[in-house]
Copies of this chain bind each other. A is one copy, B any other.
């Protein structure tokens, strides 16, 4: 189990460094990456091992900005509360915020990508109507919800969804996942009688799949945008705290005090 007798299993394609060089994704970091690739492009290269086309890059950024925290979400609040107790550790506060990016709010991006990819694999993309019907029926038969549909706030339409489809058409990256998702939403409405719009995370997952992100990496990819949002929340928290006053209010109310106390 040492390197003398066995094949070395310790290696990574991601990068390496020695005294005078640093390589990332097979490229010399200073001369071929710094000033040449944006962070979004590097993230794509590291995951897919090829550079995105301009159209793919535009879609990648659109997806990432669409899923950065835009309000006082549970994960932004968790990050802010962590800052309240440990202001010296920004990596702790960011980590705490990311830990809430699970099945409820960010999971749907990856779940939708997986669902669409599986349906396409199983039923093909020549008759999307049929593929959608079979995929939706299978979910309903198993008592499961269809990923990518519905939103607790945006009940008529998620404002991000039409923009994702518009950009995808503009950049010629409107592929089988996005097209199937539209049909899935229509089929679901016909079958259930309920209007559940395509949500932003679902459209994002389909869009990422259509630009070549493996579906197993979709959920991780969107975390990059989430980190940016959390860093911004923490910058604001340091200047205009919400965590401390909210905690004091919660504590006050939880111990039974009314306004008059």
The reply to whether A68 and B24 contact each other, CB–CB distance below 8 Å, is yes
The reply to whether B232 and A46 contact each other, CB–CB distance below 8 Å, is yes
Copies of this chain, whole number: 4
The reply to whether B259 and A1 contact each other, CB–CB distance below 8 Å, is yes
Q: Given A11-B254, A72-B10, does the pair A219, B259 have CB atoms closer than 8 Å? A: no
The reply to whether A17 and B232 contact each other, CB–CB distance below 8 Å, is no
The reply to whether B62 and A35 contact each other, CB–CB distance below 8 Å, is yes
* Interface mask (A1-23 → B, CB under 8 Å = 1, otherwise 0): 11111001111111111111111
Determine the distance from Cα of A12 to Cα of B232 in the docked complex, in whole angstroms: 10
Determine the distance from Cα of A159 to Cα of B16 in the docked complex, in whole angstroms: 13
What residues of chain B lie closer than 8 Å to A256, measured between beta carbons?
8, 11
The reply to whether A232 and B14 contact each other, CB–CB distance below 8 Å, is yes
The reply to whether A72 and B154 contact each other, CB–CB distance below 8 Å, is no
The stretch among A117-125, A130-138, A176-184, A238-246 that forms the contact with chain B is A238-246
The reply to whether A77 and B250 contact each other, CB–CB distance below 8 Å, is yes
Chain B nearest CB from A62 CB (Å) reads: 4
Does residue A112 face the partner (Cβ distance < 8 Å to B)? no
The reply to whether B214 and A235 contact each other, CB–CB distance below 8 Å, is yes
Determine the distance from Cα of A188 to Cα of B29 in the docked complex, in whole angstroms: 27
What residues of chain B lie closer than 8 Å to A220, measured between beta carbons?
90, 94, 231, 234-235
Chain B nearest CB from A208 CB (Å) reads: 12
The reply to whether B217 and A249 contact each other, CB–CB distance below 8 Å, is no
Chain B nearest CB from A255 CB (Å) reads: 5
Does residue A61 face the partner (Cβ distance < 8 Å to B)? yes
| Nearest B residue to A61, CB-CB | B38
Q: List 24 A-B contacts (CB under 8 A).
A: A1-B253, A2-B249, A10-B250, A11-B256, A16-B71, A21-B159, A22-B70, A22-B159, A22-B160, A24-B65, A29-B65, A30-B162, A35-B61, A35-B163, A37-B61, A38-B65, A43-B232, A71-B255, A74-B84, A81-B100, A85-B106, A89-B92, A90-B219, A221-B231
